[in-house]
Structure 1
């Protein structure tokens, strides 16, 4: 086999095909190849494509999980981030700190989890928060500050993991749209939309917003697919607002929970010229079914909703967006990840807009389950 669009020799089955070269798929391919397995990483477009969920330079890395499971997993992911940044040769994370606030946010509980897991933090009263952050955030409630949080470069993270996988002899096949996966002997035949085929022993499906479209073509028994949660794919909108004054230090990220609305903000990175803050509403976009139905449109109503929010709560920004974009969120009802397996097909969905920060660990978990060398938290295996 060879890197790129070339035809693939199907006479000798390889160990693993990983479908999807976003964060979850790239991480899994890296870990499988690192362990010495022969791996093909397939993507309908290219790694970190804009048609998926892992593109762009700005995603939040934060520790604010009231759920101790995710808090522990994030601590475990730190080792992988250090490993990946060393392999990449430069930082993938910019540490800016994060402010968690709002009437709907249980910052006291988060502070307790931080204490339990050893995350440095300070819980500010409303008056202290206004004194510390009032030139940037006007939340009016107590605020939880943790300086270790920051912004991860999703696109560079994917490229770093793909490069590490290829250096361990994985093959990257781009422009490879999977049409079907069928049993063939002890393994599987993966057929592309253009007729190309690949023989493999194991399949890992990490297709993000394309997963609902693919599930029916994997030959999985209904007993398995019915146990999976409903995957809800949304087309989310994000807006970039300019700073009123050039900041002397990086702006923190923020999570603000108010009635009927969760808004997150973060420095926009190179996506919008480092000129301002990226602002978006969590699950504020329309449900679209699967990634094939995205149209990149942003409604004037949604734009105005965010402009009004910025004008009320973010005094350090000019409430006039200078750039905007859409992206995909693939949600489960309880926001848990899905890392589950049937025979030699493993399904991976790092769901609900919070998978990126676990990037190096997702591959460790998925590869461990796919090879049988490690199990994953029971909550991630609905078929059980």
Structure 2
């Protein structure tokens, strides 16, 4: 049985980033993945995720800025830019552009607040319904290449990648753990990092973890979300990413990547999909009524798009009630769920935080450690 200092379960953005950071620190690392890194059954596949700074919470906006050094290092390792600049427009009554602008001012991010008319002059392909926040340093992350760059970097530093390795149990053995897959193969670990995305709820139920730790974790709600790609009416238009939040509906969009032929805008409704039990329950079925809802939205608010999708897909969101991340640890197991549909942009930084916590090098912000927050409330 091969044994490692750290076994990272899950090779999406969070798991790949954590394994990369642990390997850089000289640890013996294994990455186990039930399929392949960045596979389409998880949350880190595809070539288009939003990179943006606009958050209502100062700490998240500051974290995006802090993540830049990690992205620059990944660009160097990949030999290409993993974030394509596009800028971002934020608008809508519930998006509160003016409040977002104040946060960006506090963090030191260049931005511009403009009227709906001024924005429409610059981007006539949108029908803006409120004033608009523009920040030019937003862009589009190539999630697939980011994952593979981090996995390759970890392997280059001595980590081992085990693909098609489905973890079914992790049992205490001596001072560590024995991990067993569905074929009965085993790995030894001094410490395990669970970064399994939509499989996390089921995985946690199979681990020997303290009842108090499990009880303090927030409930994880797994959503099967739907994204649609709409063709550009004028391929010469310059398209930003966008977030539009109005009462009853929050939509977001971004220039589609190579997996949608770069010829349209990827568009989705935030948490507009269906709740499923766990990742294994996903069926990949597109709900026709939801498709119609998004088409109606495009007709009303985005006249620069042909209101007929040429491609569509599903993906998973693993949500917490507050949309905060979970990076918490107990008894040689670290749980990493930087999720709720907004974690991709932080990937290299989150790997650093998770590695800090797993190794004991440093703690993470209290908001990401619900077990400590629970202990504080009960004290």
Q: TM-score scaled by structure 2?
A: 0.97
Give the CA deviation at 1:218.
1.2
Per the TM alignment, residue 248 of structure 1 is displaced from its structure 2 partner at its CA by 4.7
Which of 77, 84, 91 is equivalent to 1:94? 84
Give me the whole-angstrom Cα distance separating, in 1, the residues matched to 2:32 and 2:236. Answer: 41
What residue ranges of structure 2 are gaps of 5+ in the alignment?
A: 373-379
Matching residue of 2:60 = 70
Tell me the alpha carbon deviations over residues 132-180 of structure 1, each in whole angstroms, 9 at most, x when there is no partner: 22x2110221000000001000000000000000011000000000000
In the alignment, the residues of structure 2 paired with residue 163 and residue 334 of structure 1 have an alpha-carbon distance, to the nearest angstrom, of: 33
The secondary structure found in structure 1 opposite 2:62 is: helix
Partner residue of 1:6?
none
Q: Which residue of 2 aligns with 1:376?
A: 364
* Cα drift, residue 295 of structure 1: 0.2
Question: Structure 1: which 4+ aligned runs deviate by more than 2 Å?
Answer: none
Instruction: Measure how far apart 1:247 and its partner are.
Output: 2.1
Alignment partner of 1:226: what SS?
helix
Residues 180 and 191, structure 1, Cα contact 8 Å, conserved in 2: yes
Q: Secondary structure at the match of 2:68?
A: helix
SS of 1:241's equivalent?
Answer: strand
Assess, with a 3 A threshold, how the Cα gap between structure 1 residues 127 and 77 changes in structure 2: closer, same or farther.
same
1:352 corresponds to which of 336, 340, 350: 340
1:273 & 1:371 partners in 2: Cα distance?
42
Shift of 1:56: 0.2
Q: Hey, what does 1:112 align to over in structure 2?
A: 102
Partner of 2:202: 213
1:257 to 220, 245, 249: 245
**Secondary structure, aligned partner of 1:319:** coil
For each residue in 1:269-298, what CA deviation from the matched residue of structure 2 results, as whole angstroms up to 9, or x when unmatched?
A: 111111100010000000001100000001
RMSD: 0.7
Measured at CA, do residues 146 and 335 of structure 1 come closer, stay the same or move farther in structure 2, by a change above 3 Å?
Answer: same
Q: Counterparts in 2 of 1:122-133, with a 5 A limit?
A: 122-133=112-123
Structure 1 stretches lacking a partner, 5+ long: 1-8
Match of 2:377 in 1: none
Distance (whole Å) between structure 1 residues aligned to residue 185 and residue 150 of structure 2: 25
1:163 aligns with 2:141: no
The answer for the alignment partner of 2:9 in structure 1 is 19
The aligned counterpart of 1:337 is 325
